[in-house]
């Protein structure tokens, strides 16, 4: 999946993307950048939610001409409407909607149970989705996005509403899924330390432009943090050699 010279305007005089080039390469690709940079718009364009022309290509074809797109791609937006009167098990089944018939097979039922066990949400199976917490809801919809075993996974802020432990667990599950299934992911993250830790390729976006891309250590630097995010910080490595950002005393935050 590739974006070539992708430009997008929501209405006249409000251009959001300025002819960007981006490829959803192997492994986990993560987009970072300040608020209102166009990160979510990129995902929506690549998912076909926002219509483009001759700018987004899926497996060599212009996205508007791909009939099998949604058999291979799962998209999870940042905000999920949850007014449906369904329980968690039914929501999970909907993840396989293209493969379901009037009678649900034993194989599909067992697969739902296996995915729920992997995400530790089987105890929520009979709860209505308006009866569970925001963090639990986030886990349910991420699990649902994997139900059809997509080759491409587009997720906007998968760690929303999750505590630190569950943020790490969700990112580990996504990373594990990508590796196991030789799939590709494009993820928007605000947490820079999570992005550095889990990205195979990092894209830095600001004002609708891709400022840099590559390995996390080549994209995230002290000067970039100062120039793009307006913060003073240092970058150190933990005991496993993974870089992380340590804001200086004058900094209040290091996320966008």
Residue 110 is predicted with a pLDDT of 86
The pLDDT, as a whole number, for residue 83 is 65
Residues 202 and 22: their CA atoms lie apart, in Å, by 11
pLDDT value of position 249: 61
pLDDT in tens, the chain (256 residues): 999 999 998 877 788 999 999 999 999 999 999 998 999 999 999 999 998 888 999 888 898 888 778 888 999 998 776 666 789 988 888 887 655 445 667 877 888 889 999 888 999 999 998 888 888 888 999 999 998 899 999 999 999 888 999 899 999 999 999 999 999 999 999 999 999 999 999 999 999 999 999 999 999 999 999 999 988 998 988 888 888 898 876 444 444 4
- What predicted TM-score, i.e. pTM, was given to this entire model? 0.88
Token pair belonging to 143: 């699990």
Q: What is the CATH number of domain 2-247?
A: 3.40.50.300
Residue 253: predicted pLDDT: 46
Q: Would you state the pLDDT for residue 102?
A: 55
Cβ proximity of 117 and 109 under 8 Å = no
Residue spans of the domains in the chain: they are 2-247
Residue-level pLDDT at 143: 92
Q: What local confidence, expressed as pLDDT, does residue 43 receive?
A: 95
């Amino acid at each position: 999946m590739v974006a070539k010279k992708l430009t997008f305007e929501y209405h006249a005089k409000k251009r959001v993307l300025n002819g960007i080039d981006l490829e959803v390469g192997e492994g986990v690709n993560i987009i970072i950048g300040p608020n209102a940079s166009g990160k979510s718009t990129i995902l929506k364009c690549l998912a076909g939610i926002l219509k483009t022309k001759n700018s987004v290509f899926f497996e060599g074809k212009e996205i508007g001409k791909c009939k099998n797109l949604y058999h291979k791609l799962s998209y999870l937006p940042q905000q999920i409407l949850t007014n449906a009167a369904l329980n968690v098990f039914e929501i999970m089944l909907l993840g396989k909607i293209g493969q379901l018939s009037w009678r649900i097979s034993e194989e599909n039922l067992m697969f739902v149970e296996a995915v729920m066990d992997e995400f530790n949400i089987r105890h929520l199976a009979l709860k209505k989705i308006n009866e569970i917490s925001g963090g639990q809801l986030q886990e349910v919809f991420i699990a649902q996005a994997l139900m059809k075993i997509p080759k491409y996974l587009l997720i906007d802020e998968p760690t929303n509403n999750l505590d630190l432990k569950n943020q790490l667990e969700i990112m580990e599950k996504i990373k594990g899924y990508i590796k196991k299934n030789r799939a590709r992911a494009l993820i928007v993250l605000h947490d820079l330390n999570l992005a550095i830790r889990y990205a195979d390729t990092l894209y830095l976006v600001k004002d609708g432009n891709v400022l840099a891309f590559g390995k996390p250590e080549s994209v995230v630097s002290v000067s970039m943090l100062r120039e793009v995010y307006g913060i003073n910080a240092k970058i150190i490595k933990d005991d496993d050699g993974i870089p992380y950002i340590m804001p200086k005393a004058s900094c209040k935050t290091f996320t966008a």
